[in-house]
Each structure stands twice: as structure tokens, then as C-alpha cells.
Amino acid sequence: MRAIRALAVVLGLALIGGCAHAGATPSAFPGEVPAVRTAPAAAAPPEQPAQVPAAPPTTTPAPATTATTAATTAAPVTTAPRTAPPRTAVVAGLAAGTPCKATVAACVQLSTKKAWLVRDGKAVYGPVPITSGRPGWRTPPGTFAVTFKNINHKSSLFNNAPMPYSVFFNGGIAFHQGSLSVQSHGCIHLSKAAAQTFFSSLSKGSVVQVVA
């Protein structure tokens, strides 16, 4: 038995010696795992600073421009309210366009043989032609008031002579339709159209002025 063990040791040593050929790396001790040769690590490239991606440009919005308009506070202008003169206002003095006062309703001028209707201080109708009283029957000047009207009057003094559209203002003297070529017995003769207008425009109490 001892001889067999001795033989085995001899054979083991021979095998170990025969297996050690070029390129093999024997272990220092039987059964030890041979060291693994590793290639030297390549030198690491110098460390580069981390590339931080550039932040996108930040556009700061311009502050909103608030147009501040200074409110101009003007002092309130006080204007007096316009008041139109009343339609019935009478202009002092003469009625415009006539020789009579502004307060009358009818005007007669004997020298020029003209007559007017007056309202609100001015002539609104005329002048229209007239004839007045003949000698001995002259129409007296003065200021009078209408006493009555009669559209189909007939003269009680002159044989029922027709006096259409009569407007009496001085006793028996009246405006009425009559001849513009023949003088009267004191009345104011008017054309038919004028007599109708005077009759419709004048009323009891209307002021009539007769001037020379």
C-alpha cells in the first residue's frame, strides 16, 4: 500500500512538470485558481464639464403701457337759458311798416289812402288801397275800438245802400266793401278781398287808429 502511494506521488509530480508549457500560468499551489490577467484599463479621458443645455432666451414682456390721459376737468359753463320772446310781445313805438302805434289792430292813413292790419307790433296785411270821406263828410283821425260787425249791412241814412262786410269803429263809420274811385260819406272803402279780410280779422274791441 505504501508502495502504491509512493508511486502515485511520483507520477503526480511528473504530470505537473510536463504540463507547464509556454503561455500557461501555473498556480503557486495545487488547486489554486490561476490569476486572470486583465488588460490594463485605458486611461480615462479628462473629465469634461457637464454640458448644461442653454436655457431658451427669456423674453420679458414689456410692461403694458397704460395711456393715462389726464382728464381735463373744465369748469362747467353756465349759460342762461334762451327764452324766446312771447309771440304777443309788442314792440314799443310804431308798428313796423305802418304810421300807427304797435298796439293797434288796424291802421288807416288818409293822406296816402292806405290801410293795414297789425299783429304783435307789425303789419301782417297791407298796405291795401282805400277811399275815405269826401268834403263835408271827412273821416276824422283818432284811435277807436270796433263796436260791431254786420256782413250784409245796408245804410239807413243813404237809401239802404249796401255796405257788405261792415266793421263799425266810430259811430256810423265803418270799413266795408265800396268804390275805390268814389269817396265815401266818412266810411273806409275797401276792395271786396280786403273787406273780407278786415271783417274776418277784426272783432269787437279791436283797436283802430286813423292818422292824417
Residues serving a catalytic function are 176, 187
Calpha distance 16→30 (Å, rounded): 9
- The kind and range of the H/E element at 129 are strand 122-129
In Å, what is the CA distance from 183 to each residue of 39, 86, 133, 195?
A: 162, 41, 6, 16
Calpha distance 116→194 (Å, rounded): 10
Number of Cβ atoms within 10 Å of the Cβ of 80: 5
The DSSP call for residue 103 is T
Structural contact between residues 208 and 105, judged by C-beta atoms closer than 8 angstroms: yes
Calpha distance 90→75 (Å, rounded): 39
In Å, what is the CA distance from 171 to each residue of 104, 202, 208?
A: 18, 16, 13
- 180 burial type by CB count under 10 A (0-12 exposed, 13-18 middle, 19+ buried): middle
